[in-house]
Amino acid sequence: MEKLKLTSLEEAIMLAIVHQPRYGQDIVEVVSAASQGEYQIGCGTLYPALKRLSQRGFIQAHKRQENLAVRNGHSRCYYEVTTVGRDMLLRIESIRDQIKSQSQIHEALT
């Protein structure tokens, strides 16, 4: 089983694409909007993180041949979370819930 080793950047990227495939700039915009502009991702940070996530099997990339005239003949790469990636996000969420629960129990006892 893959160890729970996601950076906050990697988790933010995965959360941005968990419900729909997105291309790089779209991921940047979703993360920025969700964080109200506090979390800005540059291309020099985004693409290495996407590569790491892909190598670990958490996401996969697909090239789409849409709007080629607008994009001067270049296809756009869309990223989506794999089943392995979804399982990882669920495990992280479960651990967070357990920690919150334990914290609430501790607070109630003190």
Residue 92's domain comprises: 8-109
How is 86-109 classified by DSSP, letter by letter? HHHHHHHHHHHHHHHHHHHHHHHH
Domain CATH for 17: 1.10.10.10
In tens digits, the chain (110 residues) has pLDDT values of: 556 688 999 999 999 999 999 999 999 999 999 999 988 999 899 999 999 999 999 999 998 766 655 556 667 899 999 999 999 999 999 988 888 888 766 666 66
CA distance 32 to 4: 24
Domain-located, residue 3: no
**Structurally, how many domains does the chain consist of?**
1
DSSP secondary structure code for residue 66 in this structure: -
73: Cβ contacts below 8 Å, ≥ 6 apart: none
> pTM of the predicted model, to two decimals?
0.80
pLDDT at 68: 53
pLDDT at 76: 86
CA–CA–CA angle 93, 96, 100 (5° rounding): 140
Domain-located, residue 2: no
Domain-located, residue 1: no
CB atoms under 10 Å from CB of 13, counted, come to 29
